Amino acid sequence: MGNISTLLQQLGLVILVGGLIGAEREYHSKSAGFRTIILICLGSYLFSSFSVHLAGNSPDRIAANVVTGIGFLGAGVIFRGDNKVNGITTAATIWATAALGMGIAMEYYITVLIAAVLVLVALFLFSGFERLIDRWNLARNYKIVSEYKEHLLEDYEQKMKICGLKFKMTSQTRKGKDIAGTWWVNGKEKAHNRFVELILHDETVKEFEF
């Protein structure tokens, strides 16, 4: 009876921890949402529990394979789009949730609860700090496509300087009558907004991505 009671308590903690973290991801419409995070926490818990019985004197082997498998799962939610890499926070959340599931299986309940609170704090509260940091130093990747004219890209760079932005050109290509430039740009959020406004009203610009 004691074993069943312990099992139910552990499974309840798995659902609680995975559900709270998953709810945050679901609220922000992330690729790994409520159900996915719960299943990750449950799966890592089960593998860790079974490892004691299945792996004999080397239970760490299955635990190590869980970490490897979670790495592949996390890599699956990372993608590049809109000139930036997305999904890194979700991948890190998957990795942390798996660790929590393993901790529950090993009966580190206090550690798991404290760590779960820290994960939620990082996801909920630290996003505000990120926005505050971005106001003072925001990094963006800009791509501008225009009909080729001599010194045209230099003109765009001059606009960046006027707005108080620091930049580094990462690529320059010409196709037919068009020329495309890509820059990695750093500066205050207000400076970026001013530059975007200038480019949106620039009639020489055919395409603008960031």
pLDDT digits (tens, 9 = 90+) for 25-64: 998 888 788 999 999 999 999 988 888 767 666 666 667 7
Q: What percent of the chain has pLDDT over 70?
A: 91
pTM above 0.85, yes or no: no
* Confidence grade of residue 205 (pLDDT, cut at 50, 70, 90): very high
Distance from C-alpha of 12 to C-alpha of 35, rounded to nearest angstrom: 15
CA angle 41, 42, 44 (to 5 degrees): 70
Mean pLDDT, the chain, rounded, equals: 87
The reported pLDDT for the residue numbered 2 is 52
Domains in the chain, start-ordered, CATH in brackets? Answer: 2-124 (no CATH), 136-209 (3.30.70.260)
* Confidence grade of residue 1 (pLDDT, cut at 50, 70, 90): very low
pLDDT digits (tens, 9 = 90+) for 110-133: 999 999 999 999 998 887 777 777
For residue 7, give the nearest of 32, 33, 42 by alpha carbon. Answer: 42
Distance from C-alpha of 193 to C-alpha of 142, rounded to nearest angstrom: 12
The reported pLDDT for the residue numbered 182 is 95
